[in-house]
Amino acid sequence: MSFGCPTRTNKRLEVELELMPKIYDISMTIEEGMQVWKNYEAKKPRIENVQNHDQGKPHESLLTMNVHTGTHVDAPLHMLAGGETIETISLERLVGPARVLDLTHAKECITKEDLELFAIQKGERILLKTSSSYSEEFLLDFVFLREDGARYLADIGVGLVATDALGIERAQAEYPTHRTLMRGDVIIVEGLRLKDVPAGNYTLVIAPLKMTGIDAAPARALLLGD
Ligand SMILES: [Zn+2]
Protein backbone atom coordinates (compact mmCIF):
# COMPACT_ATOMS: atom_id res chain seq x y z
CA MET A 1 0.00 0.00 0.00
CA SER A 2 1.37 3.41 -0.89
CA PHE A 3 0.46 6.78 0.61
CA GLY A 4 2.83 8.82 -1.54
CA CYS A 5 1.67 11.78 -3.59
CA PRO A 6 0.78 10.90 -7.16
CA THR A 7 3.84 11.55 -9.31
CA ARG A 8 3.94 12.52 -12.94
CA THR A 9 5.10 9.75 -15.17
CA ASN A 10 7.98 10.46 -17.50
CA LYS A 11 5.62 9.91 -20.41
CA ARG A 12 3.28 12.61 -19.25
CA LEU A 13 6.16 15.02 -18.77
CA GLU A 14 7.35 14.29 -22.30
CA VAL A 15 3.91 15.06 -23.70
CA GLU A 16 3.75 18.30 -21.72
CA LEU A 17 7.14 19.37 -23.02
CA GLU A 18 6.04 18.65 -26.58
CA LEU A 19 2.98 20.83 -26.09
CA MET A 20 5.05 23.69 -24.68
CA PRO A 21 5.37 26.48 -27.22
CA LYS A 22 8.88 27.55 -28.17
CA ILE A 23 9.94 30.54 -26.11
CA TYR A 24 11.91 33.31 -27.81
CA ASP A 25 13.50 35.75 -25.41
CA ILE A 26 13.41 38.98 -27.43
CA SER A 27 14.86 41.19 -24.66
CA MET A 28 18.27 42.87 -24.56
CA THR A 29 20.65 41.83 -21.81
CA ILE A 30 21.20 44.69 -19.39
CA GLU A 31 24.93 45.03 -18.74
CA GLU A 32 27.44 47.86 -18.56
CA GLY A 33 28.83 47.34 -22.06
CA MET A 34 25.46 47.18 -23.79
CA GLN A 35 24.40 49.48 -26.61
CA VAL A 36 22.74 52.72 -25.56
CA TRP A 37 21.16 55.63 -27.40
CA LYS A 38 23.82 57.34 -29.56
CA ASN A 39 26.50 55.68 -27.37
CA TYR A 40 26.11 58.47 -24.82
CA GLU A 41 28.19 57.70 -21.72
CA ALA A 42 25.45 59.11 -19.47
CA LYS A 43 22.95 56.59 -20.84
CA LYS A 44 25.04 53.52 -19.98
CA PRO A 45 23.78 51.46 -17.04
CA ARG A 46 26.03 51.23 -13.99
CA ILE A 47 26.15 48.07 -11.96
CA GLU A 48 28.28 48.12 -8.81
CA ASN A 49 28.80 45.67 -6.04
CA VAL A 50 27.91 47.37 -2.76
CA GLN A 51 28.59 44.47 -0.39
CA ASN A 52 29.85 40.93 -0.73
CA HIS A 53 30.90 37.65 0.87
CA ASP A 54 34.50 38.82 1.43
CA GLN A 55 33.00 41.31 3.88
CA GLY A 56 30.99 38.52 5.51
CA LYS A 57 27.81 39.92 3.99
CA PRO A 58 25.35 38.78 1.32
CA HIS A 59 26.36 39.75 -2.23
CA GLU A 60 24.34 42.79 -3.36
CA SER A 61 24.55 45.03 -6.41
CA LEU A 62 23.34 48.54 -7.12
CA LEU A 63 21.91 49.20 -10.58
CA THR A 64 21.65 52.76 -11.90
CA MET A 65 20.02 53.16 -15.27
CA ASN A 66 17.81 55.24 -17.51
CA VAL A 67 14.32 53.75 -17.86
CA HIS A 68 14.78 53.78 -21.67
CA THR A 69 17.65 51.28 -21.41
CA GLY A 70 17.47 48.14 -23.56
CA THR A 71 14.03 46.65 -24.15
CA HIS A 72 11.42 49.05 -22.76
CA VAL A 73 7.90 50.40 -23.08
CA ASP A 74 7.44 54.13 -23.71
CA ALA A 75 4.59 55.96 -22.01
CA PRO A 76 2.99 59.04 -23.65
CA LEU A 77 4.66 61.36 -21.10
CA HIS A 78 7.98 60.64 -22.86
CA MET A 79 6.97 62.75 -25.85
CA LEU A 80 3.78 64.56 -24.83
CA ALA A 81 3.76 67.19 -22.08
CA GLY A 82 1.15 66.11 -19.55
CA GLY A 83 0.92 62.68 -21.20
CA GLU A 84 -0.05 59.51 -19.38
CA THR A 85 2.52 57.60 -17.36
CA ILE A 86 3.66 54.01 -17.52
CA GLU A 87 1.21 52.47 -15.03
CA THR A 88 -1.72 53.43 -17.29
CA ILE A 89 -0.63 50.83 -19.87
CA SER A 90 -2.48 47.65 -18.94
CA LEU A 91 -0.97 44.19 -19.27
CA GLU A 92 -3.88 43.26 -21.55
CA ARG A 93 -2.38 45.63 -24.12
CA LEU A 94 1.06 44.05 -23.79
CA VAL A 95 0.16 40.35 -23.81
CA GLY A 96 -1.58 38.53 -26.66
CA PRO A 97 -1.40 37.69 -30.37
CA ALA A 98 1.28 39.52 -32.33
CA ARG A 99 2.92 39.48 -35.74
CA VAL A 100 6.58 39.87 -36.64
CA LEU A 101 7.06 41.67 -39.97
CA ASP A 102 10.26 41.13 -41.91
CA LEU A 103 11.60 44.58 -42.76
CA THR A 104 15.24 43.60 -42.81
CA HIS A 105 15.46 44.82 -46.41
CA ALA A 106 14.49 48.38 -45.41
CA LYS A 107 17.43 50.74 -45.76
CA GLU A 108 16.79 54.15 -44.27
CA CYS A 109 13.31 53.96 -42.83
CA ILE A 110 9.98 52.15 -42.88
CA THR A 111 7.31 53.94 -44.88
CA LYS A 112 3.56 53.57 -45.36
CA GLU A 113 4.35 51.87 -48.66
CA ASP A 114 6.49 49.25 -46.92
CA LEU A 115 3.71 48.49 -44.44
CA GLU A 116 0.83 48.34 -46.93
CA LEU A 117 2.09 44.99 -48.19
CA PHE A 118 1.21 43.30 -44.91
CA ALA A 119 -2.57 43.92 -44.77
CA ILE A 120 -2.32 45.04 -41.15
CA GLN A 121 -5.58 44.94 -39.20
CA LYS A 122 -7.09 47.06 -36.43
CA GLY A 123 -5.96 45.99 -32.98
CA GLU A 124 -2.90 44.04 -34.16
CA ARG A 125 0.35 44.01 -32.21
CA ILE A 126 3.06 44.62 -34.80
CA LEU A 127 6.77 43.88 -34.34
CA LEU A 128 9.17 45.43 -36.85
CA LYS A 129 12.19 43.25 -37.53
CA THR A 130 14.95 45.37 -39.07
CA SER A 131 18.71 45.35 -39.50
CA SER A 132 19.04 46.57 -35.89
CA SER A 133 18.40 43.02 -34.66
CA TYR A 134 21.69 41.99 -36.25
CA SER A 135 23.82 44.58 -34.47
CA GLU A 136 24.89 44.65 -30.85
CA GLU A 137 26.32 48.13 -31.49
CA PHE A 138 24.08 51.17 -31.65
CA LEU A 139 23.59 52.06 -35.33
CA LEU A 140 23.56 55.83 -35.73
CA ASP A 141 21.69 55.33 -39.02
CA PHE A 142 19.25 52.73 -37.65
CA VAL A 143 16.13 51.98 -39.66
CA PHE A 144 13.22 53.91 -38.16
CA LEU A 145 9.48 54.18 -38.63
CA ARG A 146 8.90 57.30 -40.71
CA GLU A 147 6.05 59.67 -39.89
CA ASP A 148 3.84 58.45 -42.76
CA GLY A 149 4.28 54.86 -41.59
CA ALA A 150 3.28 55.85 -38.06
CA ARG A 151 0.24 57.74 -39.39
CA TYR A 152 -0.76 54.67 -41.40
CA LEU A 153 -0.56 52.39 -38.33
CA ALA A 154 -2.41 54.89 -36.11
CA ASP A 155 -5.17 55.26 -38.73
CA ILE A 156 -5.60 51.48 -38.90
CA GLY A 157 -5.77 51.49 -35.11
CA VAL A 158 -3.10 48.91 -34.29
CA GLY A 159 -2.75 48.18 -30.60
CA LEU A 160 1.02 48.17 -30.32
CA VAL A 161 4.07 48.72 -32.46
CA ALA A 162 7.45 47.44 -31.39
CA THR A 163 10.87 47.82 -32.94
CA ASP A 164 14.29 46.27 -32.53
CA ALA A 165 16.04 49.65 -32.66
CA LEU A 166 16.52 51.52 -29.39
CA GLY A 167 14.22 54.20 -30.75
CA ILE A 168 11.25 54.07 -33.08
CA GLU A 169 12.39 57.25 -34.84
CA ARG A 170 15.34 59.50 -35.51
CA ALA A 171 16.08 62.51 -37.63
CA GLN A 172 12.55 63.92 -37.55
CA ALA A 173 11.95 67.31 -35.94
CA GLU A 174 9.28 67.35 -33.21
CA TYR A 175 9.18 63.53 -32.94
CA PRO A 176 6.11 63.03 -35.18
CA THR A 177 6.35 59.22 -35.18
CA HIS A 178 6.21 58.97 -31.38
CA ARG A 179 3.57 61.66 -31.09
CA THR A 180 1.31 60.29 -33.83
CA LEU A 181 1.38 56.82 -32.28
CA MET A 182 0.87 58.12 -28.74
CA ARG A 183 -2.02 60.39 -29.73
CA GLY A 184 -3.52 57.40 -31.57
CA ASP A 185 -3.30 55.26 -28.41
CA VAL A 186 -0.73 52.92 -29.96
CA ILE A 187 1.70 51.43 -27.43
CA ILE A 188 5.39 51.84 -28.35
CA VAL A 189 7.99 49.22 -27.43
CA GLU A 190 11.66 49.70 -28.30
CA GLY A 191 14.87 47.69 -28.16
CA LEU A 192 13.71 44.19 -29.09
CA ARG A 193 16.08 41.43 -30.28
CA LEU A 194 14.49 39.60 -33.24
CA LYS A 195 17.48 38.04 -35.04
CA ASP A 196 16.43 34.49 -34.21
CA VAL A 197 12.71 35.01 -34.77
CA PRO A 198 11.23 34.18 -38.20
CA ALA A 199 8.50 36.51 -39.46
CA GLY A 200 5.02 35.27 -38.56
CA ASN A 201 2.42 34.97 -35.83
CA TYR A 202 3.17 34.50 -32.14
CA THR A 203 1.88 35.19 -28.66
CA LEU A 204 3.64 38.25 -27.28
CA VAL A 205 4.40 38.74 -23.60
CA ILE A 206 5.82 42.08 -22.54
CA ALA A 207 6.26 42.55 -18.81
CA PRO A 208 7.49 46.03 -17.88
CA LEU A 209 8.85 46.58 -14.39
CA LYS A 210 5.96 47.70 -12.24
CA MET A 211 6.74 51.39 -11.92
CA THR A 212 4.52 54.42 -11.63
CA GLY A 213 4.38 58.10 -12.55
CA ILE A 214 7.20 58.01 -15.10
CA ASP A 215 7.78 58.03 -18.87
CA ALA A 216 8.89 54.42 -19.54
CA ALA A 217 9.80 51.12 -17.94
CA PRO A 218 12.38 48.47 -18.83
CA ALA A 219 10.71 45.19 -19.79
CA ARG A 220 11.27 41.49 -20.31
CA ALA A 221 9.80 40.56 -23.67
CA LEU A 222 8.99 37.07 -24.95
CA LEU A 223 7.39 35.53 -28.01
CA LEU A 224 5.71 32.14 -27.73
CA GLY A 225 5.31 30.16 -30.92
CA ASP A 226 6.73 27.42 -33.12
ZN1 LIG B 1 12.00 55.00 -25.20
11 Cα–ligand 1 center, Å: 46
181 Cα–ligand 1 center, Å: 13
| Mean model confidence pLDDT for the chain | 94
8 Cα–ligand 1 center, Å: 45
169 Cα–ligand 1 center, Å: 10
Contact between residue 184 and residue 171 where contact means Cβ atoms under 8 Å apart: no
Sign of CA dihedral 136, 141, 143, 147: positive
Greater pLDDT, 78 or 19: 78
174: which residues sit within 8 A by CB, 6+ positions away? none
Reply yes or no on whether the pLDDT at 162 is more than 70. Answer: yes
217 Cα–ligand 1 center, Å: 9
pLDDT tens, 15-68?
Answer: 777 788 999 999 999 999 999 999 999 999 999 999 999 999 999 999 999 999
79 Cα–ligand 1 center, Å: 9
pLDDT tens, 166-179?
Answer: 999 998 889 999 99
Cβ neighbour number for residue 117 with a 10 Å cutoff: 9
Which pLDDT score is estimated for 139? Answer: 93
The catalytic residue among 59, 68, 72, 78 is 78
pLDDT tens, 135-157?
Answer: 999 999 999 999 999 999 999 99
Reply yes or no on whether the pLDDT at 1 is more than 60. Answer: no
Cβ neighbour number for residue 221 with a 10 Å cutoff: 26
Average pLDDT over residues 62-78: 98
Residue 109's beta-bridge partner residues? 144
Is 22-28+66-225 assigned to CATH 3.50.30.50?
yes
Q: Is 68 a catalytic residue?
A: no
Contact between residue 179 and residue 150 where contact means Cβ atoms under 8 Å apart: no
Confidence of residue 4 (pLDDT cuts 50, 70, 90): low
pLDDT tens, 190-216?
Answer: 999 999 999 999 999 999 999 999 999
